Chain A
């Protein structure tokens, strides 16, 4: 990376010398190796090295974003010269600016501060990757595992990667982030005794290989597929909704999008004018914890180089912050924050730790273990999603269901929150536990 960093510094100085008033440059580099397996054999190997330089130029009160993966000095100089010419042709926008220096991250010098780099990654060989991928399969044991079904297909991937980003700007910002990632994922299809195909998946990821639960992944995918045998039907109506932590982020992400500056500034957000107001149930608290050492999703700075910080997003139903970068804050005449949430956490509520606790307290309802399509309206908050899952009766998981839909409005939904467990998956950057809501519209 040292060679690329020197090039980035040169490009910044070159842009200034060519007439740019201010410049920000972000360099990214990632190295990834992957082994895929299909039905008991290695099916795919891949090796990838990516490098890219993004150059943001502020010229004569105008702004443009440019990038190239051709990292040769002579070519980049010509590219920058042309880019500056392009920016000069755009319309003026004096609200575009770099963040105030006091807001910039000053503690991300080496990239290693958050403890997300596993040094053992350098010890991984092609042979070891193959061994992990092959040893994690269930296919060689299929005849012992097939009980009431036939394993049709088992496809998995193991990969490890190093990601490095380096951001500098013309007012002295220098911020670096380095992390390793080890990932495994399986998708399994079975055929039941009536000839129906049923499929499911499971995955895990961790910054450190020692934390990757690679041995369990294929078995879990198979178990989830087998659990869908014998689906029943449930009539349309209102039911308690329990959402598995694996897929619960589907209901949280639209809230964060609605709190983003780009939606708010365009009046295209169902959370416009919500700052400081109690909009949701007091049972809902969402925080951003971007500086948690060693955890997936942590970052010391956002894409502008602004220092992240621990903060409340929604506290007991009250909206505590918007996400406004320097530009959106200036347009909205508000104080800037960070560009977006980094590692959000939904706080437990109701004394439940596990999904079993939630099911026991809820009693009857429908447990959603996966979403199948759907979308929401950013202006109104209306949503409609396909779901799959299980009927819950007396706190116990029962008949599988699929081809059902849930429909509603996000503000209404989150006012019907009843429970939040404490079982978020550590592999996810969004720490969302199992959630329960009352009286949700299901169609079947």
Chain B
């Protein structure tokens, strides 16, 4: 969704002469690099609760961030106004970093991307711009979604459905005189349902989120979400806590990509490695999992929540193999870490908004398909669990310990799915879990939900994985059941 350059210059009320003047101001104290990040985001939301869309709103966030680098050090300031006076004050504040004595070699990465944004290469083309449609036109979608959910299961007691959309105009300029621009859409629908059966209550939530326009809100989407949110409810009421301890875990295709995000992806983000904190800091070029396994972070999937035409440093969105044939081949870089390691940036410099300096962040992280069949992987397990629905995860970068919370799954006993399980946390260690992957199926799926990564700042991401078998993870549960 890329417009002409003038569109962006007009929105932010700047011209290329003033951009150069701001860069000069930022570098006045001796900084080695300076960039500007302009953002104009409009948000809209509608909430259906108790059968009616009675809540809605819109929000505007507008401003510019100025970053000055002195070697690997960062000065940052932002303004919610693009008046030259306020932006100049920001540039001055950010330039203070250069007065800090530094023994680090000067910043050197140049020319990672030249040329203007190409609308033909747009990764999120839009048929219907959210900004061009009155919000009232979205009410029937939410009402229809609720109707379909209620039609599918008589145990439905409460339905909450939420539509959130945003469109962000972005303009970036830096001291290499690179000017980039982009418009990033995002549409997200979530539905949360409370079920009641024999006096017991259960809940389930489902979401869909893509970089797309309002054409996203189709009848087929409502049908798909209603089916998913009402599936597996019998098992949820029957589910019990398993006996806790170490066991084999089969992770179903799709949302189990959270394993890659938490156990490996964060540890591959180059800032943690540059600082020496990551458990993978000394593993580059080494075999870290079985041959044949490929793990990548991809900003090029059309319409994906994590995709980018350009990252937030103006580097083109791209596909980055982190693990090839089991060998760690690349970290995820922003400009700072790329300069540190003497490599090209990988397009992972991302930020929550103009209020934040960019950091190396994931986009869509997934593992390529292997050769096994999912059912064969389950059949190999004598005692373990199968998991396929998650709510959140976390990692401790230094130790590599990661966790993710399982909303639902099944016990595996003698190669068969048996008792449903729910609400258990799983914990493991990143390098150990990677090395313990014993089989990869041929059924890669990218999770379509509204995944958000919260490393210091919130950014939209996505994940995916084929069905995999991990020989040993620690599963939460009762001590005596």
Contact = CB atoms under 8 A, between A and B. Distances in A.
Interface of A: 36, 38-39, 41-51, 62-71, 79, 82-83, 86-87, 89-93, 96, 126, 130, 152-153, 155, 189, 196-199, 236-238, 266-268, 272, 331, 372-380, 382-386, 388, 402-407, 441-444
| Most central of B103, B276, B278 by chain A CB within 10 Å | B276
Contact of A47 (B57, B73, B93): B93
A46 B75 contact: yes
Contacts of B399: 196-199, 402
A203 to B, nearest CB: 14
The 5 A-B residue pairs whose C-beta atoms are closest, nearest first, are A443-B244, A199-B398, A373-B403, A373-B394, A89-B136
Contacts, number: 258
B63 A379 contact: no
Interface stretch (B48-56, B167-175, B224-232, B363-371): B48-56
B193 to A, nearest CB: 10
Contacts of B391: 375
Which bracket fits the contact residues of B? 35 or more
B386 interface: no
B102 interface: yes
Given A90-B54, A197-B277, A267 B157 contact: yes
Given A375-B425, A403-B429, A404-B427, A386 B478 contact: no
Given A89-B136, A90-B46, 14 more contacts: A44-B76, A45-B93, A46-B75, A67-B57, A83-B57, A91-B52, A152-B276, A152-B277, A197-B281, A197-B400, A199-B396, A373-B403, A382-B241, A443-B475
Given A126-B96, A236-B244, A63 B77 contact: no
B244 A441 contact: yes
Interface centre among A62, A92, A388, A407 (most CB of B within 10 A): A407
Contact of A380 (B74, B75, B201): B201
A383 B158 contact: no
Contacts of A92: 52, 54
A198 B423 CA distance: 29
Contacts of A91: 52-54, 139
Interface string B457-481: 0000000000000000011111110
B93 A64 contact: no
Nearest to B92: A47
B54 A96 contact: yes
A175 to B, nearest CB: 22
A222 to B, nearest CB: 13
Contacts of A90: 46, 53-56, 136, 139
Nearest to B202: A379
B355 interface: yes
Nearest to B424: A384
Contact of A65 (B55, B60, B102): B55
A49 B57 contact: no
Contacts of B394: 372-374, 386
Interface SS, A side: strand
Nearest to B89: A47
Nearest to B46: A90
Nearest to B160: A266
A103 B348 CA distance: 50
B427 A44 contact: no
Interface string B125-144: 00000000011100100000
B409 interface: no
A403 B401 contact: yes
Given A65-B55, A66-B58, A375 B405 contact: yes
Interface in B211-226: none
B60 A69 contact: yes
A204 to B, nearest CB: 19
A374 B60 CA distance: 34
A377 B427 contact: no
A163 to B, nearest CB: 15
A68 B262 CA distance: 34
Contacts of B76: 44-47
Interface string B405-446: 100000000000000001111111100000000000000000
Given A65-B57, A403-B429, A384 B423 contact: yes
Nearest to B45: A65
A36 B97 CA distance: 10
B277 A268 contact: no
Interface string B67-103: 0000011111111100000000010011011001111
Contacts of A45: 74-76, 93-94, 96-97, 100
B120 interface: no
Contacts of B55: 63-65, 90, 93
B244 A407 contact: yes
B343 interface: no
B325 interface: no
A70 B60 contact: yes
B201 A268 contact: yes
Contacts of A272: 201
Nearest to B50: A331
A155 B74 CA distance: 14
B279 interface: yes
B424 A441 contact: no
22 contacts: A41-B101, A43-B72, A44-B357, A46-B74, A48-B355, A49-B78, A69-B60, A86-B134, A89-B135, A92-B52, A93-B52, A96-B54, A130-B100, A189-B276, A197-B398, A266-B160, A373-B403, A374-B425, A377-B203, A404-B474, A406-B476, A443-B475
